[in-house]
Amino acid sequence: MNTPTGHQSRRGRRGTLPLLAAPALVCFVGFAIVPVLGVLALSFTTWDGLGEIRLSGVTSWRAVLADPGLPHAVWVTFLVIIASWAVQTPLSILLGTFLAGQQRYRGVLAVVYVIPLLLSSAAIAIAYKALLDPNFGLGAGLGIEFLSQDWLGKPGLAFGLVVFVVSWQFIPFHSLIYQGGVRQIPRSMYEAAQLDGAGRVRQFFSITLPQLKYTIITSSTLMVVGSLVFFDLIFVLTEGGPGDATRVLALDMYKRGFQANLMGPASVIAVILVLVGLLLALLFRRLGGRDPSQSQFEGA
Amino acid sequence: MSATLTETPRQATGPPDQRHRAAGAQRRNWFGGLAGWLWLAVVVVPIYWILITSFKAQSNYYASNPLVPPSDPTLENYRLVIESDFIGYFVNSVVVTVGAVVPAVVFSFMAAYAIVRGGDSRLLRWVNGLFLLGLAIPLPATVIPIYLIIIRLQLYDSLLALILPSIAFAIPLSVLVLANFIRDVPKELFESMRIDGASEWTTLWRLAAPLTRPAIVTVTIYNALTIWNGFLLPLILTQDPDRRTLPLALWTFQGQYSVNVPAVVAAVVLTTLPILVLYAFGRRQLLSGLAAGFSR
């Protein structure tokens, strides 16, 4: 392997650098890039997951695009993204601002907050299923009717539960991101605002929030792109049910591919997932703008 | 007092006023404080319920107050979980996690070093671009071709089948974070190693690795967590109960014992325990590393 640059130093030392990148590149291409290209190829085939793979042109695409299940799955995915963003963002900003304060006990709280982040989605989903069991759960034991409803049996409740559990798991992570963001805001901005007699609330809306613009974009990107591909949690918690109430795109793909053995149509859904993910990532990058130093002047 | 809000950016560069700093520190954020303590309850109550329930006997579980610890704690639930082969699943999880994290971190570190040191090479810039693109590839969208590749390699139902894709998906973020830290190593140090006649391989392990150790620890913990908790790959790439990892085993256990709530939550506790132990040791690195990794 040769580097295309002209200034090679003695003994061709620079030539060894691409070799150092080779193992990572081989693994990554083999099990990430090839599958992405592969899923596009498979979307033009018919395969039951065991037998022969046969080319079938746009049959799978036609079938999926004509299936009312697709717009439903897109709609549910969209709702999960919007609802979990709308619940997590204000709470994370509030908690992040709080955690950025000076008192020592806040550090202790942060240690506890992080625990949900460490647990597997499967463990969290199973714990909540047990906790909210209408007959044997916490609500039944304490006689709290709100908690002992049939959370997994009614579409609206199941959807709300998914959004709540997602928030329970990920708010700590985003709070930490906002904590870092708030700590980077120059103190003198608050001092100046105090000289002007701006109160706590005014300071939050005039300084903290505008200064967090880029943190909000980072956190929202991770949230939105992340919730696009939620699988583990929803699969274990509701399996897409009741009915199809929580059947998001990733789950729709799994069910078509690995339960109905229709790998062609499932690959079509996967291609759609990749495209939507890339589109959202690009969109947020646009929103992020090109000059982060601008944020300094937006507190005004 | 005539300062208006539009002038704050200019004031930001001026010397801090000690008097007002003191005043600012004393102001209480009541609303934030309330939210902070409320959220603590939201996090702690379910965890507390899981813990105490896991020590309750199934027979008197339904009769007891769910928030009161058992008067006669029992280890019966844990015995049931362990007898359901959880030691074997634990070993599988350890093999997969170690087997994937070690190569992933070593390969990512080598690649990050090459990308930082060979920044003028078009090939390496292209490789870096490919890894950055990889950050946007969602794992669920790639599982069908991964399944196909694993079958064709005759690896279906093996732990290696779980390890290979796990390495691949750990690489993009690891390279990004490690490269950011290697970039902070002063150029003069690399230069003096070069003058001493050290090879890139020696410089990589003797200079770059010790100086970026906190980042390596962070990346290791983060990847270990992700892979330990992985559910989708084991779900589609294994069938044999002897190849189950903990999250999948937990799911099947729950399917079998769904009416035995104390046993199910004991299984949740047992599968989570190793992570909590790891967290107790690596907390500082994980928290500071998360902040550093995402603030760049």
DSSP state of A290: S
Q: What is the DSSP letter of B70?
A: P
B160 inside domain: yes
Amino acid at B203: T
Give the pLDDT score at B122: 87
Domain ranges of chain A: 21-297
Three-state SS string over B149-177 comes to HHHHCCCCCCHHHHHHHHHHHHHHHHHHH
Q: Does A299 sit within 8 Å of B138, measured CB to CB? A: no
Q: B217 in a domain, yes or no?
A: yes
Q: Is residue B67 part of a domain?
A: no
Q: Which domain CATH number covers B156? A: 1.10.3720.10
C-alpha A129/C-alpha B222 separation (Å) is 27
On the question of pLDDT at A79 being above 90, the answer is yes
Poorest-pLDDT segment among A183-187, B17-21, B181-185: B17-21
B126 shares contact with chain A (CB less than 8 Å)? no
Comparing alpha-carbon positions, the chain A residue that sits nearest to B35 is A95
The pair phi, psi for residue A211, each rounded to 5°, is -70, -25
Per-residue pLDDT band at A57 (split at 50, 70, 90) = confident
Q: Give the CATH fold of the A21-297 domain.
A: MetI-like fold (1.10.3720)
Going by C-alpha positions, the residue among B214, B228, B224 that lies closest to residue B287 is B214
Asked if A224 and B50 touch (Cβ cutoff 8 Å), the reply is no
Backbone angles phi, psi at A263, to 5 degrees: -70, -30
**Is B141's CB within 8 Å of A110's CB?**
no
pLDDT band, residue B288 (cuts 50/70/90): low
What are the tens digits of pLDDT across the range B57-84?
887 777 777 888 888 888 888 999 998 8
Nearest by CB to B247, which of A123, A200, A278? A123
Q: CA nearest A185 in B: which residue?
A: B12
The stretch B116-144 carries a mean pLDDT of 89
Burial A5-16 (b: 16+ CB within 10 A, else e): eeeeeeeebbbb
Taking all residues of chain B, what is their mean pLDDT, rounded to a whole number? 83
B275 in A contact zone (CB under 8 Å):
yes
Domains: count for chain B: 1
Neighbours of A103 (CB within 10 A): 13
* Position A146 pLDDT exceeds 90: no
Task: Give the pLDDT band (50/70/90) at residue B21.
Answer: very low
For the stretch A201-259, pLDDT in tens is 888 888 888 888 888 988 888 888 888 878 999 999 998 878 888 999 999 999 999 99
CB distance B141–A171 less than 8 Å? no
The answer as to whether B27 is a domain residue is: no
Tokens coding B125: 């810039």
The rounded distance, in Å, linking the Cα atoms of A111 and A106 is 9
pLDDT score of A43: 93
Which residues of chain A does B266 touch, with a Cβ-Cβ cutoff of 8 Å? none
Could you tell me which chain B residue has the CA closest to the CA of A268?
B141
Among B4-8, B16-20, B53-57, B126-130, the least confident range: B4-8
pTM of the predicted model, to two decimals?
0.84
Does the distance separating the beta carbons of B145 and A34 come in below 8 Å? yes
Residues of A in contact with B108 (CB under 8 A): 24
A85 CB neighbour count, 10 Å cutoff: 17
Provide the pLDDT confidence category of residue A62 given band limits of 50, 70 and 90: very high
Q: What share of chain B is helix, strand, coil (3-state, %, to 5)?
A: 75, 0, 25
* Cβ pairs A/B, distance under 8 A: 353
Instruction: Give φ, ψ of A9 to 5 degrees.
Output: -85, -175
Q: Which residues contact B109 (CB under 8 A, 6 or more apart)?
A: B174, B178, B204, B208, B209, B216
The CA-atom distances, in angstroms, between A154 and each of A131, A236, A240, A268, B254 are: 17, 16, 12, 30, 21
SS3 A55: strand
Sign of CA dihedral A177, A183, A189, A190: positive
For residue A294, name the pLDDT band (cuts at 50, 70, 90). very low
Q: Which residues of B66-96 are buried (b: 16+ CB within 10 A; e: fewer)?
A: beeebeeebebbbebbeebebeebbebbeeb
* CB contact B180 to A (< 8 Å): no
Average pLDDT over residues A97-123: 83
Predicted confidence band of residue B279 (pLDDT cuts 50, 70, 90): confident
Range of the domain at B139: 93-227+269-294
Contact B231 A232 (CB under 8 A): yes
Could you tell me which chain A residue has the CA closest to the CA of B150? Answer: A31
Given a cut of 90, whether residue A271 has pLDDT beyond it is yes
B25, B44, B121: residue with CB nearest A112: B44
Structure confidence at residue A291 as a pLDDT band (50, 70, 90): very low
B259 by DSSP, 3-state: which? coil
Q: pLDDT value at position B23?
A: 40
Pairwise CA distance, residues A29 & A35, whole Å: 9
Kindly report, residue by residue over A131-141, the tens digit of the pLDDT: 888 777 777 77
Nearest Cβ partner of B121 from A18, A53, A193? Answer: A18
d(CA B53, CA B61) in angstroms, rounded, equals: 8
Res B289 pLDDT > 80: no
pLDDT tens-digit series, residues A157-213: 899 999 999 999 999 889 888 888 888 888 888 888 888 888 888 888 888 888 888
Does A8 score more than 50 pLDDT?
no
What is the Cα B116 distance to its own chain's centre? 24
Q: How confident is the model at residue A299 (pLDDT cuts 50, 70, 90)?
A: very low
Of the given ranges (A221-230, A261-270, B156-165, B266-275), which has the lowest mean pLDDT? A221-230
If you average pLDDT over every residue of chain A, what do you get?
84
B283 falls within a domain: yes
Residue A225 has phi, psi (to 5 degrees) of -65, -35
Q: What is the pLDDT of residues B79-104, one digit of tens each?
A: 999 988 899 999 999 999 999 999 99
Contact call for B295 and A184, based on CB within 8 A: yes
